[in-house]
C-alpha cells in the first residue's frame, strides 16, 4: 500500500459500554465470485448517443476502469422495446424513438475494447420484426466480436400482455413467450451460429426464471431478472436502511434454480427505486450504503453478476440513482452510489470467493461480509446502517494479519456530494486512489453509525 498515510486504530476505549462484535468463520461452503460480477446497465438510448459510451470519453473510461478490469454492460431497458437498427441511418436517442446505426456499434465496440468489459445486447422483441432482429444480431456480433457476452430477446417480458398499450394479447403467459423465444432464438442462431442468450429477463417474476431453468435444454447460457426495492411513488429512505423480506426469498429461489440447472444467474437490471430512483434518497449516502450491502448480498447468494442501472432512463431524465452521471455534453462524473461500487471493487481485488461468516450484532443495524481466496479471508466489508450506534468489531478469528481499513464516509446520510472512500474523492478526470488508510490494531476497529469500511489483509506482494 505505497503512498498511503497509515495510522493505527485503537481498540475500544469504552469496553464496558460497548458491544464487541466478533466475526468468526461460518459454516457452509465458499461461494464463487466471478471475475465479471461488476456491471452497469443502460437504456439503449445511451448506447445510441454519439460521444457518450465512447473510447474518446476519457472520464467515462476512467470511471468504469475504476470498477475493475472485467465486467459486463447491459444495453437494453424499456427503450430497447422502442429501438430499431438502421445501419446507415441517422442516430436518434429518444426514449420512444431510438435508432442504432453501424456508427453506434463501432463506437460502443471501441468503448468495450478500451475498458475490457463485455456486453449483453437486447433485441427489440416487443415491437420489432424477426427479420430485423436477425439483421441487427449479425451486425452486433460483427462489431462487438469477443466483447459480446449474450443477446436478450426483449425486456421485462412477462409484462408484454399488460398495461394500457400491451405488446401482446391479454392471454400472454410463459408458454406463449417460450414458443416465440424458441422461434426467434433459432433464427438468430442460424445467422450467428455461436450466439449466446440471456433469458428470460423478467421485471420480477421468479416463476418464469425457474421455468426457463427447468426447460432451457442448452438454449440459454445466462438466467436473468430485475429487482428494485420499490417503485418511485412508494419509495422511502427507511426502505434502504432495512432488509427487504421479499429479496431473501427471491435470492434463495434464484440460487436454487441456477444450481439445479447449472446455468448461472445475473441480476441484469437493478437499483433502488424504479422510475429513475427517488430524489433526496437514491442520490444520497443512504443510497450508497444500500447499494454496497445489496451487491454483497447478491454475491453471497451465488449471483454471477449485477448490472447497476445508470444514466438517462426510459422517461428521458438522468436517473437519481446513477452511479455514473453525465450532462448534455456527455461529461461524466461519479454519483454518490459510485463510491459503494468502488468500495466493492477494492474489497474483491484478489478475491475469488464469498466466505461464510457469523456474528451477533446485538441489535445494531449492521452487516458483515467476508471475501477471500482458496478459503482464506482476504477482505471484510462492514456496513453500518444504524442511525445512532457505532459497531465495535473484532476480526481476530479470521486470521487476517496486517489488515488495513478503507472507510466509506459522507458528511451526513443526506449528502449528495463530499463522499470519500479511503480518505479520497474521485478526481475531475475520473480517477481514484486512496489518500489515507488505517492499520487495524489488535484486530479491532470501530465503524461509526451510517458508514462502511473495507478491511483488507496485505497480500504477500504488497
Given this model, what pLDDT does residue 458 score?
84
Confidence of residue 18 (pLDDT cuts 50, 70, 90): low
CA pair distance 182, 147, nearest whole angstrom: 24
* pLDDT digit string, tens, across residues 216-236: 999 999 999 999 999 999 999
Domains and CATH numbers, the chain: 5-30+351-457 (2.60.40.1180), 34-348 (3.20.20.80)
∠ CA 361-355-32 to the nearest 5 degrees? 140
Which long-range contacts (C-beta less than 8 Å, at least 24 apart) are formed by 312-318?
312/43, 312/45, 312/46, 313/43, 313/77, 313/95, 313/275, 313/276, 314/43, 314/77, 314/78, 314/79, 314/95, 315/95, 315/275, 315/276, 316/94, 316/95, 317/276, 318/276
Residue in this structure with the C-alpha cell 471493487, named with its chain if needed: 345
Given this model, what pLDDT does residue 459 score?
73
What are the grid coordinates assigned to 423, written together?
480518505
Confidence of residue 16 (pLDDT cuts 50, 70, 90): very low
pTM of the model: 0.95
- Residue pair 315/79 in contact by the 8 Å Cβ criterion: no
* pLDDT digit string, tens, across residues 75-121: 999 999 999 999 999 999 999 999 999 999 999 999 999 999 999 99
> What residues have CB less than 8 Å from 220, skipping those under 6 apart?
197, 198, 199, 212, 263
Give CA separation, 362 vs 3, 327, 349, 392, in Å. 37, 45, 30, 11
Using the CB atoms, write b or e for 306-339: b if 16+ within 10 Å: bbbbbbbbbeeebbbbbbbbbeeebebbbbbbbb
CA pair distance 398, 11, nearest whole angstrom: 17
Confidence of residue 6 (pLDDT cuts 50, 70, 90): very low
Given this model, what pLDDT does residue 401 score?
84
CA pair distance 305, 33, nearest whole angstrom: 9
Confidence of residue 14 (pLDDT cuts 50, 70, 90): very low
* pLDDT digit string, tens, across residues 388-443: 999 999 999 999 988 999 999 999 999 999 999 999 999 999 999 999 878 998 89
The chain-wide mean pLDDT, for the chain, equals: 94
Examine the pLDDT at 286 and tell me if it is beyond 70: yes
Short-list 399, 454, 382, 392, CA closest to 423? 454
Poorest-confidence range of 13-27, 51-65, 107-121? 13-27
Given this model, what pLDDT does residue 224 score?
98
Short-list 433, 457, 441, 401, CA closest to 5? 433
* Mean pLDDT in residue range 320-332: 94
What are the grid coordinates assigned to 216, written together?
432451457
Rg (CA), the chain: 22
* Mean pLDDT in residue range 132-136: 98
CA pair distance 19, 425, nearest whole angstrom: 32
Amino acid at each position: 500500500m505505497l503512498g498511503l498515510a497509515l495510522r493505527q486504530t485503537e481498540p475500544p476505549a469504552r469496553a464496558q459500554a460497548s458491544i464487541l462484535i466478533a466475526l468468526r468463520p461460518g459454516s457452509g461452503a465458499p461461494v464463487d465470485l466471478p471475475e465479471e460480477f461488476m456491471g452497469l446497465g443502460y437504456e439503449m438510448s445511451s448506447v445510441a448517443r454519439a460521444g457518450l459510451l465512447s473510447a474518446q470519453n476519457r472520464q467515462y473510461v476512467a470511471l468504469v476502469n475504476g470498477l475493475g478490469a472485467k465486467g459486463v454492460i447491459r444495453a437494453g431497458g424499456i427503450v430497447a422495446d422502442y429501438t430499431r437498427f438502421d445501419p446507415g441511418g441517422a442516430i436518434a436517442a429518444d426514449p420512444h424513438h431510438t435508432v442504432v446505426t453501424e456508427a453506434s456499434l463501432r463506437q460502443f465496440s471501441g468503448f468495450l475494447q478500451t475498458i475490457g468489459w463485455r456486453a449483453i445486447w437486447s433485441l427489440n422483441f416487443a415491437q420489432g420484426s424477426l427479420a430485423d432482429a436477425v439483421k441487427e444480431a449479425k451486425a452486433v456480433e460483427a462489431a462487438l466480436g469477443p466483447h459480446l457476452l449474450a443477446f436478450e430477446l426483449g425486456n421485462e417480458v412477462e409484462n408484454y400482455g399488460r398495461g394500457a398499450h400491451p405488446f401482446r394479447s391479454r392471454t400472454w403467459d410463459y408458454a406463449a413467450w417460450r414458443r416465440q423465444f424458441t422461434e426467434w432464438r433459432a433464427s438468430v442462431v442460424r445467422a450467428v451460429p455461436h450466439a449466446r442468450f440471456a433469458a428470460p429477463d423478467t421485471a420480477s417474476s421468479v416463476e418464469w426464471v425457474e421455468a426457463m431453468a427447468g426447460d432451457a435444454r442448452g438454449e440459454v447460457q445466462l438466467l436473468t431478472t430485475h429487482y428494485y426495492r420499490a417503485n418511485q411513488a412508494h419509495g422511502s429512505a427507511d426502505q434502504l436502511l432495512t432488509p427487504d423480506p421479499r429479496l431473501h426469498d427471491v435470492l434463495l429461489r434464484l440460487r436454487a434454480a441456477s444450481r439445479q440447472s447449472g446455468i448461472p444467474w445475473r441480476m441484469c437490471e437493478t437499483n433502488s427505486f424504479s422510475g429513475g430512483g427517488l430524489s433526496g434518497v437514491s442520490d444520497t449516502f443512504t443510497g450508497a450504503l444500500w447499494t454496497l450491502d445489496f451487491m454483497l448480498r447478491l454475491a453471497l447468494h451465488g449471483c454471477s453478476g449485477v448490472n447497476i442501472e445508470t444514466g438517462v432512463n426510459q422517461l428521458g431524465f438522468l436517473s437519481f440513482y446513477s452511479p455514473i452521471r453525465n450532462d448534455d455534453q456527455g461529461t461524466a462524473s461519479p454519483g454518490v452510489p459510485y463510491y459503494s461500487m468502488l468500495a466493492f471493487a477494492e474489497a474483491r481485488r484478489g478475491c475469488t470467493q464469498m466466505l461464510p461468516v457469523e456474528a451477533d450484532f446485538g441489535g445494531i443495524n449492521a452487516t458483515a461480509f467476508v471475501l477471500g481466496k482458496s478459503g482464506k479471508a482476504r477482505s471484510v466489508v462492514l456496513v453500518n446502517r444504524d442511525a445512532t450506534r457505532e459497531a465495535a468489531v473484532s476480526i481476530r478469528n479470521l486470521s487476517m494479519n496486517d489488515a488495513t481499513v478503507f472507510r466509506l464516509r459522507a458528511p451526513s446520510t443526506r449528502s449528495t456530494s463530499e463522499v470519500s472512500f479511503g480518505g479520497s474523492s474521485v478526481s475531475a478526470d475520473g480517477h481514484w486512489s486512496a489518500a489515507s488508510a488505517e492499520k487495524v490494531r489488535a484486530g479491532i476497529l470501530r465503524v461509526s453509525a451510517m458508514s462502511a469500511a473495507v478491511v483488507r489483509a496485505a497480500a504477500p506482494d504488497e
